[in-house]
Structure 1
Amino acid sequence: MNRIAITGPPRIGKTTICRRVIDSLGCRVGGMSTSEIRDGDRIGFQIMDLMTGMVGTLAHVHGAGPRIGKYHVNLADLDNIGAKAIECSIDAERIVIDEIGPMELKSERFVRAVEMALNSNKPMLVTLHQRSRHSLAERIRSEFEVREITKENRDRIVYEITEKLKT
């Protein structure tokens, strides 16, 4: 199967795995990635379009927008960078979406973009929030090979995922 969802607890290395897989694929990868914004402690999350390199703020402790825990989701950047990146990823050879979680699922445009990518039948790697029961997360769980990331498997799994996405 060339559609893989990885899941696991926060800070286990899901984003690092995605980046290492992208580096190993050697082809045009579309989609989006998230990373932490830190100032000593984690204060937010950044979002990046994998094809253009455009960066914005996904969520921050200081800001406006829907609240998830201590963070406010920046729907404008999520739509204009994250969802747009997924919409444009249809032109890429592979699609990576890091992450599909409670923050991202606050955007209707993001949900529609992910559904469009799922309907494309392109090889995909997604990170899936461990506890999400959103209908989109459930669809991915039923259609993708789901891999739980642990400290024990996180180093070797990059090769396994890369090989599956190359086919």
Structure 2
Amino acid sequence: MKVPVTGFYTKELRSGNSRTGFDVFSLNNNKHAPLARILPDQNYSHNQFIHKVGNYVVDLPSFENIALPSLSIQDNKSVMIIDEIGRMELFSKKFESRVKDVFKNQDVIILATIPNKGKPITLVETLKKLPTAVLIEVDFQNRDILLDKISTSIKNTYDKINKNL
């Protein structure tokens, strides 16, 4: 049985060996848009950018146009991908609110990525404490073998939810 999937993921952009930004991609409709870009040349004042993380400027309207519709629960028997719940994304209060709503729905399986470095983020710390949360740290050594483990876990949870409906 095929598991319905909704949500979004982010992908880094590179130019040669340098990361230049991130794009956000909807799993619902294949649309994508900029999430963040490296700050432009030094002729710009860093103070003119409202939303920034490190050297990156966050394009909040662009992110919201893709991410928010992607977080609509269309079918309670689905898997929602949220990549990621991090500092850049949480500049959006609408996104933060939508994530909280999604996590209240017990019939949706959520696969979310969170940062594991840096200053703790209140929402992330709250989500990690949920009784249904399963934390899996991805690192260089295990990243290639986790796909099967996560896929099997999601499929088993999906089957269990569907039997209870």
Report the TM-score when normalising by structure 1: 0.78
Moved over 2 A (4+): 62-65
Counterpart residue number, 1:110: 95
Counterpart residue number, 1:150: 139
Counterpart residue number, 1:162: 151
**How far apart, in 1, do the equivalents of 2:109 and 2:25 lie?**
20
Aligned length: 141
Matched, 1:123 2:112: no
Higher strand share: 1
Q: Which runs of no fewer than 5 residues in structure 2 stay unpaired?
A: 41-48, 158-165
**How far apart, in 2, do the equivalents of 1:142 and 1:65 lie?**
31
State percent identity of aligned pairs: 29
Counterpart residue number, 1:60: 37
**How far apart, in 2, do the equivalents of 1:151 and 1:99 lie?**
18
**How far apart, in 1, do the equivalents of 2:14 and 2:139 lie?**
24
Contact 1:37 1:45 in 2 (8 A): yes
Contact 1:35 1:46 in 2 (8 A): yes
**How far apart, in 2, do the equivalents of 1:27 and 1:81 lie?**
22
- For the pair shown, the structure with the greater C-alpha radius of gyration is 2
Contact 1:65 1:75 in 2 (8 A): no
User: Superposed, which structure 2 residues align to 1:38-77 within 5 Å?
Assistant: 38-40=14-16, 41-62=18-39, 64-77=49-62
**How far apart, in 2, do the equivalents of 1:123 and 1:52 lie?**
20
Q: The residue matched to 1:30 in structure 2 has which SS? A: strand
Report the TM-score when normalising by structure 2: 0.79
Q: Which has the higher contact order (CA 8 A, sep 6+)?
A: 1
Displacement of 1:111 in angstroms is: 0.4
Q: CA offsets, 1:45-102, max 9 Å, x none?
A: 000111111100000114654110000000101111112211x2x1141101011111
Contact 1:78 1:110 in 2 (8 A): no
Displacement of 1:161 in angstroms is: 0.9
Q: Which runs of no fewer than 5 residues in structure 1 stay unpaired?
A: 1-24
Higher helix share: 1
CA-based RMSD of the aligned residues comes to 1.7
Greater CA deviation, 55-64 or 32-41? 55-64
